């Protein structure tokens, strides 16, 4: 399943999807670290 296959969608929508994937991945990674006890605080509270 290649992302580079011919796709009827625009490059912009594909870029948006890739950004969503990156954001979701980094958020998930942060939650895993917090669950592992590396972050004693809630990240969204700090970001705000």
40 within domain boundaries: yes
43 within domain boundaries: yes
6 within domain boundaries: no
Domain hosting 35: range is: 12-47
Q: Which residues contact 12 (CB under 8 A, 6 or more apart)?
A: none
CA gap 47, 44 in Å, rounded: 5
Instruction: Provide the residue-wise pLDDT of the chain in tens; the chain has 48 residues.
Output: 555 556 666 777 777 788 777 777 878 877 777 777 755 555 565 554
Answer yes or no: pTM beyond 0.75.
Answer: no
Cβ atoms 34, 42 nearer than 8 A: yes
CA gap 30, 16 in Å, rounded: 21
1 within domain boundaries: no
Q: How many domains does the chain have?
A: 1
Copy the structure tokens of residue 7: 């796709």
């Amino acid at each position: 399943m290649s992302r580079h296959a011919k796709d009827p969608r625009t490059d912009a929508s594909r870029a948006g999807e890739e950004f969503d994937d990156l954001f979701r991945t980094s958020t998930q990674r942060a939650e895993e670290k917090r669950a592992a006890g590396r972050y004693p605080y809630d990240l969204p509270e700090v970001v705000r």
